[in-house]
Structure 1
Amino acid sequence: MRIGVVTFPGSLDDRDAARAIRLAGAEPVALWHGEHDLHGVDALVLPGGFSYGDYLRCGAIASLSPIMAEVIDAANSGMPVLGICNGFQMLAEAHLLEGGLIRNDHGLFICRDQQLRVENALTDWTGGFAAGQEITIPLKNGEGGFIASADTLERLEGEDRVVVRYIGMNPNGSLNDIAGICNQRGNVVGLMPHPEHAVEPGFGPDTVDAMRSGTDGITFFTSVIERMLVSA
């Protein structure tokens, strides 16, 4: 299985995402934002970090990059697409996901190991989890507050499209403690926490077993691989 990772000018975590994909058992394929070619990949990751034009609004300019036309077409055709942090912001700006992300309500950049509850274990990227499972994933953002109209929130909740929710604390003022959502089909997922930073013992969040031993993030990547193998 080949999973594309799109690099934008200023991308920070593209190589982390590629490493997570490789550890999960697939082949990462580097894609450049200025191309109109997905090189035959089976799934896509829009990585976290930053992208050019974030000074206007995070993800707003990157969502207009040439490759995003291909990403939108692929997503609408059913290809699995994961947007992490800045990638989530791009998916919202490209209208592949509803709502938007604004500056954290406390006005500060936050970096912490964040507890989450998996609300929807039926998406292409969460099939390896159990609904209600609690996981810990690193979080780092300055504009991570999820917002949406009351009608949109009601629809997201009613259609079980909240994928992960903050528990323990709300780190950025996101409405309904929402940390990630999906589209109706469940192939497009966006979340603010960074699963690619919790994929390898010795480098992830602390757990009761040992420091930096948390690997909850790898399941996002193994889940999509398993889904693609079943669908093949």
Structure 2
Amino acid sequence: MYALADGTERKLYLREVIAFLVISLLLNSMGNGLTVACNMGSAMWTASAANIAHDFHFSIATILIVYGVVSILVNVILLQHWDWHRIIGNLIFIFPYGYFVSFWANFFRSLGVASLSIPTRILLDVLGIVCLGIAISIYQRVNVILHPNDDMTNIIRFKYVKGNPVAAQLLNFAFPSMVIIVLWVLFKEVVAVNVGTIIALFFQGAVIGWTDKHIFKRLKHRLDLIKVKQATVVAD
């Protein structure tokens, strides 16, 4: 939804939806790719996927796609019904997304990011985390096509924790955190977990909340896909 000067709201035009989605997908995949290339700590889901890929010798793109499918099933449980519009949107997002992240990671490695000094890599890693938070805020508000992990945050935020983005993001990170811990115990090695991971764990939700209010301020959350369906389930 888009807020007008008179206080009313209108639906986004198709060209606006496309523009916001392109911007957010670019920021999201680029930010994630940058954190992977810096190797100073990726966001929780990406770090978890990187550890599975490393320990079991899979492509990180493949793991990200599998994670997406698992998240879709979890979202169905959280919503307590099948929302095929939402599921199709999630699927459209996840299949190119994993390869975009892999592309950006390889691109930044080709620029020599991995050989930069540790302080520089930490700064770039934090920049990647911030880009990720900004991107999530944008396409969560558009709420047409979302990555299922971020759709999960949206569902938790507005259905279970009264709109609190920090609490929602922490709950969303519970599963990838457990995966990282279990793999660390089993394989005695952890990759893609560093300063950036800690920052993402505790501050990514805050970045999302800040972006909601300060970047594209008139772009508002479209909550009908959560609230209307929720009311329908209760009525049944």
Band of TM-score, shorter chain: under 0.3
Task: Name the one with the larger helix percent.
Answer: 2
With a CA cutoff of 8 Å and minimum separation of 6, indicate the structure with the bigger relative contact order.
2
Task: Name the one with the larger strand percent.
Answer: 1
Structure showing greater Rg: 2
